[in-house]
Amino acid sequence: GNRLPNLDTVKWLIIPDASTRHAALRTSKIDILHGLNAEDRDVLLKTNPKLQFSRDIATSVTLLFARLDKKPFNDLRVRQALSLAIDYPAIVKNYYLGEAEVLAYPFPPEFKDTYIPLAELPEPTRQLFGYNPEKAKQLLAEAGYPKGFKTGVICYSTYVDILSIIKDYWAAIGVDLKI
């Protein structure tokens, strides 16, 4: 019955240098490389035409990893508020030019046996990816952050643009994100 993937181990390596990341992918030291821009993809495809690329995946809160044992992220309402504050369809349309999925983590649509489209997930899950800044503010207030809070994120340079968009969405609910 249970067809959900049950992974034994996932190692998420942070390799700051782009050329080192590319070399790791070309030499099969890593299996997946996120955050490639179009130029990087073109270079990698020229040197390794057998590489496979999936469509971009719209950045979501699920792709922002946080310490869940530390405030404010230990409160589910905070995490839900952050998700509700983002207009995912607008990001897909305007930033990714329609070439993205709102939720394609941990498996993108190309993983046909394990991928479940957002539209097929339970209604409470789908609601978390709906744009509702008023509900987001309410959840933050319930969690004890009526005026929001400050937080920071460390990222690859290729994520700065999308995180700048998220920063603006979060600012509307009082969350000050330092990139």
CB atoms within 10 A of CB 71: 12
Mean pLDDT of 64-70: 85
Mean pLDDT of 31-57: 72
Q: Three-state DSSP class for 149?
A: strand
- The better pLDDT of the pair 114, 58 is held by 114
| Distance of alpha carbon 21 from alpha carbon 13, whole angstroms | 10
Tokens of 135: 């509900």
pTM over 0.85: no
Name residue, tokens 């490389």. 33
Which of 166, 58, 169 is CA-nearest to residue 179?
166
Which of 89, 84, 111 is CA-nearest to residue 100?
89
For 34, 68, 152, the CA distances from 74, given in Å and listed in that order, are 26, 4, 15
- The better pLDDT of the pair 137, 48 is held by 137
| Distance of alpha carbon 51 from alpha carbon 78, whole angstroms | 38
Helix and strand counts by DSSP (H, E) for the chain: 7, 4
pLDDT at res. 98: 78
